[in-house]
Amino acid sequence: MMLTKTEDGGRRLLKLLVLAILVAAGGWALYANLRPGRPAMDVDMRPTSGSPVFPVTAVPVERGPITGTVVYTGSVLPFNEEDIYPRVAGRIVEIPVYPGDPIRRGQVLTRLDSVELSSRVKEAEAGLAAAQANRAQMEKELAAVAAESGYARATADRTERLFVTGLVSRQDFERDRAMATAGEARLDATRARLESAVSMLAQSEAGLGTVAIVRDYVNIVASNPGYVVKRFVAPGVLVQPGTAILKIAQIDSVRLQANVGEKDVASIRVGTPVQVRTAAAGQAPVTVRVSSVFPFVDQGSRTAVVEALADNTARRFLPGQYVTMQFVVGERAEALTVPASAVGRMGGTATVWLLKDGHAEPRAVATGLQNAERVEVVEGLMRDERVVVQGREGLYAGARIREISDQGTPKGGSHAGH
């Protein structure tokens, strides 16, 4: 049967119209499912006779003790470290230690050229010898002057007695008295010169001691035990006081520091237990205690430094190494708790999924202490209610669920029976 052009055009128009309606319907369905304001599936969807069954693992809410913890990344610092500086200028002739070498107290770390300082010591020794000779000379002179002065005084006293009895003239008396006075003056002057010689000797001795000490500064020794961390200069370099030569660190004990958020700092005290883990495989965690909480918060990061000291004689920790530090922030002897995997969070709200007559029911809860394994629920749950710990993905309110064991076996039977 032949169709007219009008009938053929009408059929084509009808096909295009039907196709346009189908495309519009599909677009609307896609938009309805993906639009931002669309209600969440897990809240509004309801099961139908053809709804899928979700396999889940569930456990009961339990009552018991819980320890709350927070985890931060920390770093290892030496217990103490210091830069080694020379006290005098000089050319380095030897640095007998290298990075990694252990250092004991009093060990020579660097030697400087001692020629100039040794020359100063010899000059001081010569000055001291001269001062000692001068003192000895003055002591002899004092003894002689004292003897002369004593003789002159005795003669004057005898002449005075004779003058009183009229046996000697006034001229003889005045002469002997003047000689005695002059002898005493000379004695006083000699004593003053001896005191000056003694003072010069003391100065010479002190000067020799000073230059001897300064000469010993060419041997730079360790004031504390530790390990060489770095060499800043090489032998042959001329150094001045204040030029760093070596860096020494004490690592038999180390500082473990973490920047803790201000919301957690209030729960941490000196003595708080800290479990520390390193990235090394096979190493068990070490438990130490907080030794210091720095009394200020950084304005940029809003964190405070929390420190714990750890024994490191076994060299378990290396300065500069990153560690994981788990701080205890509270303990409760009796609390309702659920596994951490049962709690989901979105927008600051904690939610768990409950098993109710074979269907899923979402429940908003208030949480308290928590750790890596369990979370305290302070509001929203009762003991023995069952919460989903595996298979939460894709659940919606009222979804049909089938409880299985951790090994994937349905509760109450085995794979062979299904």
Residue 262 lies in a domain: no
The mean pLDDT value for 295-303 works out to: 92
* pLDDT tens sequence across 381-413: 988 899 999 988 888 999 999 888 765 556 644
Q: Which residue has the higher pLDDT, 46 or 410?
A: 410
pLDDT of residue 165: 86
DSSP of 236-304: T-EE-TT---EEEEEEEEEEEEEEEEHHHHTT--TT-EEEEEESSTTPPPEEEEEEEE-S---TTT-EE
Question: Domain containing 51: what range?
Answer: 40-61+343-418
Residue 327 CA to residue 273 CA, distance in Å, equals 6
Q: 348 in a domain, yes or no?
A: yes
Co-location of 362 and 238 in the same domain: no
Could you report the per-residue pLDDT of 232-267, keeping only the tens digit for each? 999 999 999 989 999 999 999 999 999 999 989 989
Is residue 123 domain-resident?
yes
pTM for the model stands at 0.62
**Angle formed at CA 396 by CA 391 and CA 398, multiple of 5 degrees:** 105
42 has pLDDT over 50: no
Domain assignment of residue 302, yes or no: no
pLDDT of residue 407: 55
Residues 107 and 225 in one domain: yes
Is 287 domain-assigned?
Answer: no
d(CA 114, CA 121) in angstroms, rounded, equals 10
Domain check: are 107 and 141 in the same one? no
What is the Cα gyration radius of the chain? 49
| pLDDT of amino acid 418 | 34
Higher pLDDT, 66 or 1: 66
Is position 67 within any domain? no
Instruction: Judge whether 73 lies within some domain.
Output: no
Residue 254 φ/ψ, nearest 5 degrees:
-125, 160
For residue 22, the surrounding DSSP H or E stretch is helix 5-34
Going edge to edge, which strands form the sheet with 238-239?
219-221, 108-112, 90-94, 238-239
Residue 119 confidence class, pLDDT cut points 50, 70, 90: confident
CATH number of the domain that residue 229 is part of: 2.40.50.100
Mean pLDDT of all residues in 310-334: 92
For residues 105 and 142, state if they share a domain: no
pLDDT tens-digit profile of 1-32? 444 445 555 566 666 666 666 656 555 544 54
Residues 233 and 167 in one domain: no
- Domain count within the chain: 3
The answer to whether the beta carbons of residues 382 and 373 sit under 8 Å apart is: no
Which of 208, 239, 260 terminates a domain? The answer is 208
